[in-house]
Amino acid sequence: MRAHNERLVLSLVRQQGSLAKSDIARISGLSAQTVSVIMRSLEQDGLLLRGEPVRGRIGQPSVPMSLAPDGAYFLGLKIGRRSADLALVDFLGRVRGARRKVYRYPTPGAVVAFVAEALPALIASLPEGQRDRVGGLGVAMPFQLWNWVDYIGAPQAEMDAWRDRDVQAELAALAGMPVYLQNDATAACGAELVFGTGERPKDFLYFYFGYFIGGGLVLNGQLYTGRHGNAAGVGPMPVPGPDGRMRRLLTVASMSVLAEAMERAGEPSDQLWERPDRWEIGEEILDTWIEGAAEGLASATMSAAALLEMEAVLIDGWMPVDIRAEVVRRTEAALYRLDLSGIEPPVIREGTVGAEARALGAAAIPLSQRYLIDQNAAAREG
């Protein structure tokens, strides 16, 4: 019970910010004495920080407690179709260090070699007394990479290596710590749930723009991963294309579509994978891509809303924030051009984590496993 109650206290402080013991007792239903013992223990363990006393009109002053940024650290590895990122994240979800490798397509050998080189340097960047506080490595990657060779132009033989090698076990042996594996877009959704800012809807569908469009689903405040960990894999959802014929959402709302349009126009597309904060793209190419993506997202949103009552749809991705804002604006406009009879349309909002959501979501997996309650991450530990 104590372990559960400690997780409960840490979850409340993460969700609501600094809280005094009396606040936690009131919200959680735990006794004041139990909360006092738990918070004293968490403070001694370096997970909570004591704030300045707040004096009221009567009684003892209340002392707010907040999460200690250096209380624990986690590693998040994003394995993408064009790049891999390894991030060291503190207890608040702030990136303390990161390394990136760009490639034409991912292979197990290249990813393991990248981690073998980058991980020791990231650990060494911490003060010596804090290096033993790294609590695990989360891995966010597309499932069944060998099934996507036609889309990413990779040799089948090299991609088949993902079938045979237990990369999770290799990384666990390399890192010397627990390793958790999750679908990349699901992990990005988890980052929004754990590290996102602002009001968090209880039920929302999440779209993430990477090489392909991916998604995640939150129901009643919990990440829903499905039986095989691939729930809300929105890429294959059928949507009408510009010619009215049905096609997969990923063929109109993915960064790969934008990259192909750029290459046809003689514009190099490598910048898309190297610089998510700044793109230099011809205005007509970008405008056409955003419009097509927004139309596809609107259609997918309507289909999802017909099946599930959702408060919101959140859109995020490996893209500059101003482009993300425009995708959201046009998706909302496209949604309201559809026939919404019998459907309560969800609010269309921007995600709050941004381009690093997959790596942050990967790091959130071991954090959730150790320190949070009811995250329902359905990650597999190796």
Topology of the domain comprising 2-67: Arc Repressor Mutant, subunit A (1.10.10)
Q: What does each of the 382 residues of the chain score in pLDDT, given as a tens digit?
A: 458 999 999 999 998 889 999 999 999 999 999 999 999 999 999 999 998 887 765 656 688 999 999 999 999 999 999 899 999 999 999 999 999 999 999 999 999 999 999 999 999 999 999 999 999 999 999 988 888 787 777 889 889 999 989 999 999 999 999 999 999 999 999 999 999 988 889 999 999 999 999 999 999 989 999 988 889 999 999 999 878 899 999 999 999 999 999 999 999 999 998 889 999 999 999 999 999 999 999 999 999 999 999 999 999 999 999 999 999 999 999 999 999 999 999 999 999 999 999 999 999 999 999 999 854 433 444 4
Q: Provide φ and ψ at 248, rounded to 5°.
A: -75, 145
DSSP state letter for 54: B
- The token duo for 223 is 């990440």
pLDDT at 147: 84
Same fold, 2-67 and 73-182: no
For residue 347, count other CB atoms closer than 10 A to its CB: 12
Please give the CATH architecture assigned to the domain spanning 199-351: 2-Layer Sandwich (3.30)
Sequential DSSP letters for 136-162: EEEEEE-S-GGGGHHHHT--HHHHTHH
* Angstrom distance (rounded) from CA 354 to CA 320: 8
pLDDT at 2: 55
Domain range list for the chain: 2-67, 73-182, 199-351
8 Å CB contact between 225 and 378:
yes
Please give the CATH architecture assigned to the domain spanning 73-182: 2-Layer Sandwich (3.30)
Residue 54, judged by CB atoms within 10 A of its CB (0-12, 13-18, 19+), counts as exposed
